[in-house]
Amino acid sequence: MYLALSPQHPIHQTTQYTSQIMKRRLKLITAPSIESMCRRTLFSASLLGDNCRTAKALKFDGSPTRPLTSSDVSNSANGPKLRVAYQGVPGAHSEAAARKAYPNCDAVPCEFFETAFDAVETKKVDCAVLPIENSLGGSIHRNYDLLLRHNLHIVGEVQHAVHHCLLALPGVNFGDIKRVLSHPQALAQCEHTLTKLLTNKGMVREAVDDTAGAAQFIFVNNIRDAAAIASTRAAELYGMNILAPDIQDDQDNITRFLMLAREPIMPRIEEPFKTSIVFSLEEGPGVLFKALAVFAMRDINLTKIESRPSKKRPLRICNDGNGVQSKYFDYLFYVDFMASMAEPNSRNALNHLKEFATFLRVLGSYPIDVNQA
């Protein structure tokens, strides 16, 4: 069974500690026109490069740290270093994706997805790398909603293969484990393997906010009857043993992350590009078919379509002409298509869509991640 922890549970409380592995206290950030898009200048060549450096805030070698506090989000950013926000704590899969997107960057942990968006908008970091969909768990709907709420631009994507490991403190064996802590999706993705590995009767699965956070909690509190599902990097950071590697039930577990920045990049045609948009339509028969046809008639391949109820007007009342009123959800449609906004076909398709769409926004036109996850 799964045990959802309450906010009063110790895992949700702030813990300060000093150890041989972590000699500094780590703080998370805490929350408080198509043509014009194509003409906008490149935000920074370094955003797609690899010349960023290791974050002082995350060093564990005893050198001065520079962690962000809750008040930092409202202040201006200092220094020229490229800082990349991600959700979670060091050792999270999101941190690995951030470092894959921007090698050697200042990876800055954030407590919530919205905190990462806010950190970019308020210039506390240069960009963010956040998950948008997983091959097993599907779309991360919260981030779709935040894309619309915030004025950030997608400047790239990265595919990250998720490998779950069963971690415990040194000296802890399978027979000692009475509970397993991890993110709900990680627990679900390892359910069958856990059942085979751990045969203790009454073993409890405890859902927490973050995979690496589960490992950190066990390490900080020296819990010897618990294990965590997390990454190999989390094991290294928190001095834990890997009892079993690659315990995910499905080995093809891929998460797609978006790279977000304050300014868009200039679309190009020399390399494969993807464009992400969001739009809404009037209610009526065949309207969605008509919207998708603007791409089909120009041989533009759609790779994803996601619908989300509109937050501003969730219900729409329609009259069928016979005096009968019906209520419908008012939807937003998120679409990815395989083309650059630098191509005339793409601009023509969106200009066509604008003729009958009630709302249209380009979220970004960016290079496709063609590297192996």
Active site residues: 255, 257
DSSP line for 293-322: HHHHTTTPPEEEEEEEE-SS--EEEEE-SS
Q: Which residues of 293-327 are buried (b: 16+ CB within 10 A; e: fewer)?
A: ebbeebebeeeeebebebeeeeeeeeeeeeeeeee
To which H or E segment does residue 145 belong? helix 141-149
Torsion over CA: 152, 157, 159, 165 (sign)? negative
Three-state SS across 35-73?
HHHHHCCCCCHHHHCCCCCCCHHHCCCCCCCCCCCCCHH
Written as six digits, the tokens of 284 are: 């009526």
| CA angle in degrees (0–180, nearest 5) for 220-9-71 | 75
Query: d(Cα 259, Cα 363) in Å, to the nearest integer?
Result: 11
Residue 225 and residue 177 in contact, taking contact as beta carbons nearer than 8 Å: yes
Tokens 């894959």 sit on residue: 100
Interstrand relation of 153-161 and 254-261 (parallel, antiparallel or unpaired) = antiparallel
Tokens 């590697």 sit on residue: 245
Total residues found in the chain within this entry: 373
